[in-house]
Amino acid sequence: MGEVLFYHLTRSPAETVLARLLPRALAQGWRVAVRGSMADRLARLDDWLWLNPEDGFLPHGRAGGPQDARQPVLLTSAKDAPNRPHALVAIDRADVAPEEAAALERIWILFDSADAEAMQQARGLWRRFRDAGLAPQYWTEENGRWQRKEI
């Protein structure tokens, strides 16, 4: 059963957080699916990940191509990612079911404090995961560092 981590974005945008999380996941030998709810946002994220990570390269692809199954990081809106991920990052109010945690090492749910709908959805997801018997973790950025908070 995988860990479920809620990342409350208060200072850093999702792109910056992904640029930190994804290399760490890849270093673990994990494949990752980044699930979004908006195609245009995934396209912008795709461009951003090619141009902006600190080392200048983060191997990834957008779902819908012939090499989807081989992608270490796959940007997708679908629940079933063909790259057989070990981890999932949900952005932009993408839905995640508690049952998905059974097949994954980790789920990150990123939600922005400036988005009221995202905040409401994150609260609902938190309850769903907790009611399913999982122990979600809440992380927030304080003083420029990510810290786990007890809820």
- DSSP assignments along 86-137, one per residue: SEEEE-TT----GGGGGG-SEEEEEEETT-HHHHHHHHHHHHHHHHTT---E
Percentage above 70 pLDDT, the chain: 97
Name the pTM for this structure: 0.94
Confidence bin at 71 (pLDDT 50/70/90): very high
Confidence bin at 142 (pLDDT 50/70/90): confident
- Specify the 3-state DSSP secondary structure of 53: coil
| pLDDT score of 23 | 92
| pLDDT score of 50 | 83
| pLDDT score of 1 | 74
Average of per-residue pLDDT across 117-126: 96
| pLDDT score of 105 | 97
Fold of 3-149: Rossmann fold (3.40.50)
What are the tens digits of pLDDT across the range 37-58?
Answer: 999 999 999 988 887 766 667 8
Task: For residue 54, report the phi and psi dihedrals to the nearest 5 degrees.
Answer: -55, -40
Residue 14 has pLDDT above 80, yes or no: yes
Residue 17 has pLDDT above 70, yes or no: yes
